[in-house]
Amino acid sequence: MPVRCVTKIASAHGLSRKEMLDELLFMILSGFETAATFLSWFTYLMSKHPEVQKKIKQELKQHGISQDTMLTPDMLDQLVYVDCVIKEVFRFSPNVNATLRTLVADDYLGKGDKIYHLHRGEVVLISFYNLHFDRRYWIIDPERFYPDRFLSEDKNHHPYALIPFGGGHRACIGQDLAKLELKIIITRLMQFITFEDGGEDINSGGHKQGLTVTPKNLAVYVQFDS
């Protein structure tokens, strides 16, 4: 069944059954593709950064989480380093690389002799990718994949320097669900396996633009921890 994004304002009778179905399918699609993309990047980046996997595993050990441990919300809350890894994967490889906004009023951007007049009705593209790598907003080199930045110099980064879920009142409605599910999946994976680099020829990363931005070349070995 084709999925159509509903933009029509609900009539006085509310949403029709078809519109309701469209909304539900959109939710499933927007939640599935994005999470799958994040996990591809996580797999790729972990294969290139064994030291980060080691630190995640150390954190699990420190909190008494072994292969037999069933995860609870309280346990997950304690895993601060895993949160840093999630943020850094989102920063370094934005799944969704931009969003659009249509101006409802005239506005001005910039300062000094570089002021741009924006007009009502114009569409502005906000590039997450540019913000995530903008040297003005990051103390530690933004080109470096380094989850520890969120525990040190970049702990208090500008709130709009990292917006993988967009911002304002049209920000992603599923972001808390997404962060929770990704934290559970990552923690569970790291209880059991280690990703190893499949070699520069076939695990060379790159970017492939589809509905989301995925790694172009991803090939890893999966090592089962004893």
Q: Does 99 sit near ligand HEM (CB under 6 A)? A: yes
Query: Alpha helices of 49-169 — where are they, by DSSP H?
Result: 50-62, 73-78, 80-92, 128-132
* Closest approach of ligand HEM to the CB of residue 3, in Å: 12
Identify the bridge partners of residue 220 per DSSP, sorted by sequence position: 197
214's tokens: 């995925």
Candidates 3-11, 12-20, 112-120, 159-167: pick the segment binding ligand HEM (CB under 6 A). 159-167
Alpha carbon distance 157, 131 (integer Å): 11
Q: Does 27 sit near ligand HEM (CB under 6 A)? A: yes
Q: Does 180 sit near ligand HEM (CB under 6 A)? A: no
Whether the Cβ atoms of residue 99 and residue 166 lie closer than 8 Å to each other: yes
46's tokens: 């972990």
Q: Does 138 sit near ligand HEM (CB under 6 A)? A: no
Q: Does 95 sit near ligand HEM (CB under 6 A)? A: yes
Q: Does 177 sit near ligand HEM (CB under 6 A)? A: yes
* Closest approach of ligand HEM to the CB of residue 98, in Å: 8
For residue 61, which amino acid is it? Answer: K
Q: Does 167 sit near ligand HEM (CB under 6 A)? A: yes
| Site for ligand HEM, residues 56 to 85, rule: CB under 6 A | none
* Closest approach of ligand HEM to the CB of residue 205, in Å: 19
Q: Does 171 sit near ligand HEM (CB under 6 A)? A: yes
Alpha carbon distance 205, 219 (integer Å): 9
The DSSP annotation for 211-226 comes to SSEEEEE--EEEEEP-
- Does 172 count as an annotated binding residue? yes
Return the ∠ at Cα 9 (arms to 6 and 15), rounded to 5°: 70
Which CB sits closer to ligand HEM, 15 or 57?
15
Which CB sits closer to ligand HEM, 65 or 162?
162
Identify the bridge partners of residue 222 per DSSP, sorted by sequence position: 195
Q: Does 41 sit near ligand HEM (CB under 6 A)? A: no
Q: Which residue of 45, 86, 89, 96 would you call a contact of ligand HEM, by CB under 6 A? A: 96
Alpha carbon distance 165, 38 (integer Å): 12
Alpha carbon distance 134, 128 (integer Å): 10
Alpha carbon distance 189, 181 (integer Å): 12
Candidates 73-81, 138-146, 163-171, 215-223: pick the segment binding ligand HEM (CB under 6 A). 163-171
Q: Could you tell me which residues are annotated as the binding site for heme?
A: 172
Which residues here bind ligand HEM, judged by CB under 6 A?
27, 30-31, 34-35, 38, 95-96, 99, 164-167, 170-174, 177-178
